[in-house]
Amino acid sequence: MSRRRVTFRGVARALAAAVLTMALLAMAVLPMAVPAGPAAAQPSALPDGFVRLRERDPSIRQDIRYAGPFNFTGRPVPGYLAAECILLRPVADALARAQARLAAEGFHLKVYDCYRPVRAVQSFIVWAQSPEPDRMARIFSPAIPKQQQFALGYIAKRSRHSVGTAVDVGLVRAADPDLPTPTDAGPCDGPVATRARESSLDLGTAYDCAAPLAATAARVSPEARRNRDRLVRALAAEGFRNYSLEWWHFDYTGPTPPQKAWDFPVR
């Protein structure tokens, strides 16, 4: 009797050890689930009413200049954590319709700035008042000192970009490949061959040029006049009004949600 009990207990222990061994082996070969971080899952949420233009119309080219150093300040602008165009939804929808108009003619839009955080606008004020030499003046403002650019209307102390209803936009041929952001260039109002290479089309000046030639109605080459007029027509048909001193700046005039200046970062 005593032997049979010992034998039964031994068998039970052996079975338990075998089950435990099999469980451990199964755990070793099964892949471990690693929770994805919030950044890997999806882009950061935007305030209600805002959208990323890339999600609304990925065919519109983007070269968001203030996210990098090739702009009139010479450094990435505060508030730009990514090179993304963000706009209020009705503005993005209208821009997509303008893109469709131009695509039918063989052209595409190329945006350089969209929503702009308030902190970015404030950094422009600090930049203009700083005694630090303007090392990018030879490119972006060859004849106008930075201290005069607010008074002359090239930079605003309060911007509709911060509301999400303004866009800086140029024109490219639809068949042309994307161009990298320039790293250097000649004066923005100089010959097209020496200006920043932004498009195969001549628009009279480079983008963000603080110069009289940047005015939409300025006397430019016949090709530049045709391209500016084409851009203005397509955008005006969808509710955008051009700013007369800058051929690239357009404000959306159609209905939008209640407007206020925002300061969430671009990312």
The upper half-sphere exposure of residue 260, i.e. CA atoms within 13 Å in the direction of its Cβ, equals 7
Q: Contact, 69 vs 136, CB < 8 A?
A: no
In this structure, what is the dihedral angle of CA atoms 204, 95, 184, 187, given to the nearest 10 degrees?
Answer: 20
The SS3 call for residue 225 is helix
Q: For residue 21, what pLDDT band results from cuts at 50, 70 and 90? A: very low
Supply the pLDDT for residue 44.
83
**250-254: average pLDDT:** 98
- Binding site: what residues are annotated? 161, 168, 249
**Long-range contact set of residues 174-181: C-beta below 8 Å, sequence gap at least 24:** 174/102, 174/103, 174/106, 174/107, 174/108, 175/106, 176/200, 178/61, 179/63, 181/63, 181/65, 181/68, 181/70
Greater pLDDT, 149 or 24? 149
Q: Which amino acid is at 106?
A: G
In this structure, the number of other CB atoms found within 10 A of the CB of residue 248 comes to 26
Tokens of 34: 């690693």
Annotated active-site residue 246? The verdict is yes
Q: For residue 42, what pLDDT band results from cuts at 50, 70 and 90? A: low
Q: For residue 7, what pLDDT band results from cuts at 50, 70 and 90? A: very low
Share of the chain above pLDDT 70, in %: 84
**240-261: average pLDDT:** 97
Tokens of 243: 């700013």
- Binding site for Zn(2+): what residues are annotated? 161, 168, 249
Per-chain mean pLDDT for the chain = 89
Per-residue pLDDT reduced to its tens digit, 46-87 = 999 999 999 999 999 999 999 999 999 999 999 999 999 999
Domain ranges of the chain: 50-252
Q: Contact, 266 vs 115, CB < 8 A?
A: yes
CA 148 to CA 165: how far, in whole Å? 26
- Quickly list DSSP for 80-113: BSS---EEEHHHHHHHHHHHHHHHTTTEEEEEEE
Tokens of 47: 């305030």
**126-147: average pLDDT:** 96
Per-residue pLDDT reduced to its tens digit, 186-228 = 999 999 999 999 999 999 999 999 999 999 999 999 999 999 9
Q: What is the CATH number of domain 50-252?
A: 3.30.1380.10
